[in-house]
């Protein structure tokens, strides 16, 4: 591998590592987003259950049970509000990580294409040089044969 190709290969390797790292960041951000969404769903389910428990307590005339269920539903509502804020942050983080990953992937692919082009260009040049050497050998042999054929006929 020639100097330019070696440098391009190193750059392509670095871009590949950056792409992989950003891919991991994107996966981590997506995981955090999913976990927050799941936590939010659990909290919503618990609020619904507390509301049902409160209605049941009212039907039974259990004022303390109703107050307890309402208090628990309010407390979980606050947790939902906090989770919704976190959810927005995680969505933004995931989108940012996704954009970074896509940008690094584009650059990595560009470097791989550049390296492929350089290797292809070198192989084409080497092929042309080999063909030129072959042509030179053929012409030299032909001239030699012509000269030696001319000397033997004289």
pLDDT for 150 beyond 80: no
Query: What CATH number labels 3-153?
Result: 1.10.287.1700
Query: Which percentage of the chain shows pLDDT scores above 90?
Result: 77
Q: What is the spatial distance between Cα 42 and Cα 49, in angstroms, rounded to a whole number?
A: 10
Q: What is the spatial distance between Cα 108 and Cα 129, in angstroms, rounded to a whole number?
A: 31
Q: Which of 39, 14, 15 shows the shortest CA–CA distance to 106?
A: 15
Q: What is the mean pLDDT of the chain?
A: 92
pLDDT tens string 57-91: 989 998 999 999 999 999 999 999 999 999 999 99
What are the DSSP calls for 77-119, one per residue? HHHHHHHHHHHHHHHHHHHHHHHHHHHHHHHHHHHHHHHHHHH
Q: What is the spatial distance between Cα 109 and Cα 68, in angstroms, rounded to a whole number?
A: 59
Q: What is the spatial distance between Cα 29 and Cα 86, in angstroms, rounded to a whole number?
A: 12
pLDDT for 52 beyond 90: yes
Domain boundaries, the chain: 3-153
> Which pLDDT band holds residue 1 (cuts at 50, 70, 90)?
low
pLDDT tens string 9-42: 898 899 999 999 999 999 999 999 999 999 999 9
Q: What is the pLDDT of residue 152?
A: 72
């Amino acid at each position: 591998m020639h100097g330019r190709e070696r440098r391009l290969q190193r750059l392509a390797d670095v871009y590949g590592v950056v792409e992989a790292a950003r891919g991991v960041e994107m996966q981590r951000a997506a995981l955090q987003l999913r976990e927050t969404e799941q936590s939010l769903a659990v909290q919503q389910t618990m609020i619904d259950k507390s509301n049902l428990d409160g209605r049941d307590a009212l039907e039974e005339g259990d004022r303390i049970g109703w107050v307890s269920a309402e208090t628990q539903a309010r407390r979980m509502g606050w947790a939902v509000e906090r989770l919704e804020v976190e959810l927005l942050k995680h969505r933004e983080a995931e989108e940012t990580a996704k954009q970074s990953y896509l940008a690094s992937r584009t650059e990595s692919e560009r470097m791989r294409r550049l390296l492929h082009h350089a290797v292809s260009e070198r192989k084409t040049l080497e092929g042309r040089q080999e063909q030129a050497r072959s042509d030179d050998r053929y012409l030299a042999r032909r001239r030699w044969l012509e000269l030696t054929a001319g000397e033997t006929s004289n």
